[in-house]
Structure 1
Amino acid sequence: MLELKVLGDHDHAEAEVPQGGCSSGSCGSTDDQLNHLPESIRQRVYNHPCYSEQAHHHFARMHVAVAPACNIQCNYCNRKYDCANESRPGVVSELLTPKQAVKKTIAVAANIPQMTVLGIAGPGDPLANPVRTFSTFRMLTEQAPDIKLCVSTNGLSLPDYADELTKHNIDHVTITINCVDPEVGAKIYPWVFWENERIRGVEGAKILIERQQRGLEMLVERDILVKVNSVMLPGINDHHLAEVSRIVKSKGAFLHNVMPLIAEPEHGTYFGLMEQRGPTPKELQDLQDECSGDMNMMRHCRQCRADAVGLLGEDRGAEFTMDKIEAMEIDYEAAMVKRKRVHDAINAELAKDNAQPANANADQMIPAGTRPVLMAIASQGGGLVNQHFGHAKEFLVYEASSEGVRFISHRKTDLYCTGGDTCGDGDSLLGGIIKSLEGCEAVLCSKIGYEPWETLENAGIIPNGEHAMERIEDAVWAVYVEMYQNGKLTEQSSSLTA
């Protein structure tokens, strides 16, 4: 079956839900922290690709664009309703009615059985469009009861709808909280629309912050898992987000997702036009590490479009435009049988992974204090090293240290091979890929050509195709041990000192 290819060729028996559902470093926390979670919470997290780093290798999500209006203005946002080219929040190819959204959800769930989660995240704010949002949720609860329902909001209207959210069995909510200081907020939000009035500057930011915090408290009181998104804005809130993390944790938020600013001038955002820079990968990692002292951290976010479809890191939305869906014949009852079979197979695979040591080579100890190494992984899912270097549109970045292996981030890059004989564009394209891998000392992939191999080596990055189809954590640890045994961890590599 096509949908099971990433799982390997094992015989898959029906299995219990994995206890915790996360490997080392997933969900931004350690295994010990996850093992102490109540069973009811672990059940809600293990197959949610946004709440579990391990789950995002196996389970898919989708967003439906039913909420066009927004009640605040963010300096990093520019909503586009008919765009197929940009990959960022606030962008969609087509707006949907609630009935269209339900039809699309059922079509996607039938054709992508790994899909477990349906979210409404825009392109405006779902709670600024309550009729459209809750009509969609109401119909989905009736017609597709096996799909988790989520909502992402700026929080301004959240206190008004906390009880309504519980009526629709929504137990995952994301709130974007970029500050807890109105002076900082005034630099991010030009205005909020509150009680039929546009309120600007510090006063508007103060109202938004108070409503966000009250909404967070109300959700936690109702046993809803809350993920907090924060956009890192160098020079504006970067030194403030650790305080945000501390406060939202104290109020019961489950997960914190610190994301880099996306602000290219062509996107037309205020920050983009004003040339506000985003953080470097190292700046982002340092801040995430600082915040992780207080919170479980999400590091695998892809800052999805408001109509994203598929696994995190891929977008299959073009396969499910409304004109294509109208031509589909779907038997959802039959599809639910197939979905259960696929989910059982994934659960069996996860249970098998979780029964194994965190690293297959864990018996090969590395002395404490040995410097950590970042490695880039080409993967097309399943938690495996299973993609050709030239086919990668992004690389997963893992850190190996004497304490083990942990996921750090993803790095988007240009596609090196575009088919036929058109692999690469000489030094220019490879140079861009190498720049995107700044700080990484090795690249692990299933295969790699001679030219990129040589270019990576010259840049001080070790190409490695020896661990194809292995678990990423095992492969990273094996390469790290080999680097240690060969004496390569006693000095900084050229890729770090260049």
Structure 2
Amino acid sequence: MSPPMTSLESETKLISPAKSAGCTSSTCASPASADAMESAVWEKVRDHPCYSEEAHHYFARMHVAVAPACNIQCNYCNRKYDCANESRPGVVSENVTPDQAVRKVIAVANQVPQLSVLGIAGPGDACYDWNKTKATFGRVAEVIPDLKLCLSTNGLALPDHVAELCDMNVDHVTITINMVDPQVGAKIHPWIFYKHRRYTGIEAARILHERQMLGLEMLTARGILAKINSVMIPGVNDEHLMEVNKWVKARGAFLHNIMPLISNPEHGTHYGLTGQRGPKAMELKALQDRLEGGARLMRHCRQCRADAVGLLGEDRGQEFTLDQISEDVTYDASKRDAYREVVARERSDRAVAKSEATELVKAAGSGKSLLVAVASKGGGRINVHFGHAREFQIYEASPRGISLVGHRKVEQYCLGGGGEDATLAGVLAALEGIDIVLCAKIGDCPKAQLSGAGIRATDDYGYEHIETAISTVYAAEFGAKPLAATA
């Protein structure tokens, strides 16, 4: 049975998700391939790195920080903080006007051929700071009409702009929904500003909840794909997110992304200053595993800055500050067009390799699982030196196949030709629960240290497709016949 409608939803007599034009859980399976969903939906997500795990290996996103104003306060947010090396929602190095944003988008499109998506994720709220959001999308669409447009919002002002979003061909919207119970919400969001008035406590959380549910159903009814972001806050909403998952699934959400709370004290957030901890990597995975079978999960999120540029897992935003961009920059489509031709061939090759690898793992019949950390910079291949990795993509091989289940950020171990023991200790801590590390190259010293911590590491599969290498390791571990290596 679907969760009950709120009073506001009942009054507005919204279209139910099952009758909407959008993509619902009954029509869509995994967002990884065209075979798993309707063709119209696949066309929307095929090149979107946030909505398709497969696409994130090949395509890049760009966020423009045109919307600094916000209408709610979250205990995990402090938009005054900035560090060029910090990847965290709400963080930017410079706010820009719509005209300046267009200059930046053109400059990035000319130099980052992987670019496929333009998003507005703040640093405030894209729907509350609506005039700037609308102007930016309109001007960019005139110059580079093939860029996908998407935005992120807390949902409070979303219902006021769904019709306009549809008119502008914005077909991806992310809503941050951390609760469906105002009692829980009051612990996360101390106040909101709605209809020229500030609300606090449970009343504020109730209004926010009702507006979020209304906005989500309006998006679904119009065929706009909705991704739900939820921040996992241990002891506050971690168990409650099971209920959130049920509610958003019932209302047609395309993806549900459970993100770990970031609460470093130096960021100056309420949670950071009061000692609220974030979840450990294995706690996050355990919750995500419990949610399997509910709303479709996103597991490849990197919690991007509001001015992020590049592939997920990298941020080239500092290369495109306004002082580095010409006033009269013009768009050249040649690099992006050429890149798409290359990617089409690579994706086809990887699809074959992935299918073969999945069958091998299933054929092993072991009933066991293997957690694998992969050093990769994109392309679906193992192509990063262990000492140069800033993150590891985490894959799980099991009787169900091979799937990406998360990522672990680390500090780069090797700088200037040598490794730091203190840094390696941090890497080892980040790899808790991992069985084996696959990388393009690894030295004897870190390999021995990993072994001492019970983690195997190998560079035997450097530059192979990730799934092919994992299936070979799995086969060797559990007795199946391995695939031939593919370069």
Q: TM-score, length-normalised on structure 2?
A: 0.90
1:3-41 CA deviation, whole Å, 9 max, x = no partner?
Answer: xxxxxxxxxxxxxxxxxxxxxxxx983768x62421110
Contact preservation (8 Å) 1:28, 1:298: no
> Residues of 2 paired with 1:414 and 1:83: CA distance?
15
> Residues of 1 paired with 2:128 and 2:169: CA distance?
20
User: Against the structure 1 CA distance between its residues 485 and 287, is the aligned structure 2 distance closer, same or farther, given a 3 Å change threshold?
Assistant: same
More off after superposition, 360-369 vs 451-460? 360-369
Per the alignment, residue 477 of structure 2 pairs with: 483
Q: Does 1:223 align with 2:220?
A: no
> Residues of 2 paired with 1:144 and 1:362: CA distance?
41
1:440-472 CA deviation, whole Å, 9 max, x = no partner?
Answer: 011101110111011111111111110011111
Q: Does 1:53 align with 2:50?
A: no
The equivalences for 1:7-26 within 5 A come to none
Per the alignment, residue 390 of structure 1 pairs with: 387
Contact preservation (8 Å) 1:376, 1:395: yes
Q: Does 1:463 align with 2:457?
A: yes
Amino acid aligned to 1:432? G
In structure 1, the gaps of 5 or more residues are 1-26, 487-498
> Residues of 1 paired with 2:62 and 2:441: CA distance?
30
1:347-388 CA deviation, whole Å, 9 max, x = no partner?
Answer: 222123224452447346555453211111111111101111
Per the alignment, residue 268 of structure 2 pairs with: 268
Alignment counterpart, residue 440 of structure 1, candidates 428, 434, 437 = 434
More off after superposition, 372-381 vs 349-358? 349-358
Per the alignment, residue 179 of structure 1 pairs with: 179
> Residues of 1 paired with 2:222 and 2:280: CA distance?
38
Per the alignment, residue 107 of structure 1 pairs with: 107
Contact preservation (8 Å) 2:371, 2:434: yes
- SS of 1:231 mapped into structure 2: strand
Alignment counterpart, residue 445 of structure 2, candidates 448, 451, 454 = 451
Amino acid aligned to 1:382? G
Deviation at 1:219, TM superposition (A): 0.7
Per the alignment, residue 318 of structure 2 pairs with: 318
Amino acid aligned to 2:408? R
Deviation at 1:290, TM superposition (A): 1.8
The equivalences for 1:244-259 within 5 A come to 244-259=244-259
1:400-429 CA deviation, whole Å, 9 max, x = no partner?
Answer: 11222111111011111112x4x2123x22
Contact preservation (8 Å) 1:366, 1:481: no
> Residues of 1 paired with 2:148 and 2:32: CA distance?
24
In structure 2, the gaps of 5 or more residues are 1-27, 481-487
How many correspondences in the alignment? 453
> Residues of 2 paired with 1:52 and 1:159: CA distance?
25
Alignment counterpart, residue 473 of structure 1, candidates 454, 467, 478 = 467
Amino acid aligned to 1:393? R
User: Against the structure 1 CA distance between its residues 82 and 168, is the aligned structure 2 distance closer, same or farther, given a 3 Å change threshold?
Assistant: same
User: Against the structure 1 CA distance between its residues 356 and 445, is the aligned structure 2 distance closer, same or farther, given a 3 Å change threshold?
Assistant: closer
Per the alignment, residue 18 of structure 1 pairs with: none
Per the alignment, residue 13 of structure 2 pairs with: none
Give the superposed CA RMSD: 1.8
User: Against the structure 1 CA distance between its residues 203 and 66, is the aligned structure 2 distance closer, same or farther, given a 3 Å change threshold?
Assistant: same
> Residues of 1 paired with 2:128 and 2:219: CA distance?
18
The equivalences for 1:60-71 within 5 A come to 60-71=60-71
Amino acid aligned to 1:88? R
1:257-285 CA deviation, whole Å, 9 max, x = no partner?
Answer: 01000110001000111111111111111
Amino acid aligned to 1:452? P
> Residues of 1 paired with 2:258 and 2:222: CA distance?
25
User: Against the structure 1 CA distance between its residues 158 and 361, is the aligned structure 2 distance closer, same or farther, given a 3 Å change threshold?
Assistant: closer
Amino acid aligned to 2:387? G
User: Against the structure 1 CA distance between its residues 305 and 214, is the aligned structure 2 distance closer, same or farther, given a 3 Å change threshold?
Assistant: same
Report % sequence identity. Answer: 54
User: Against the structure 1 CA distance between its residues 456 and 282, is the aligned structure 2 distance closer, same or farther, given a 3 Å change threshold?
Assistant: same
Per the alignment, residue 39 of structure 1 pairs with: 39
Q: Does 1:204 align with 2:204?
A: yes
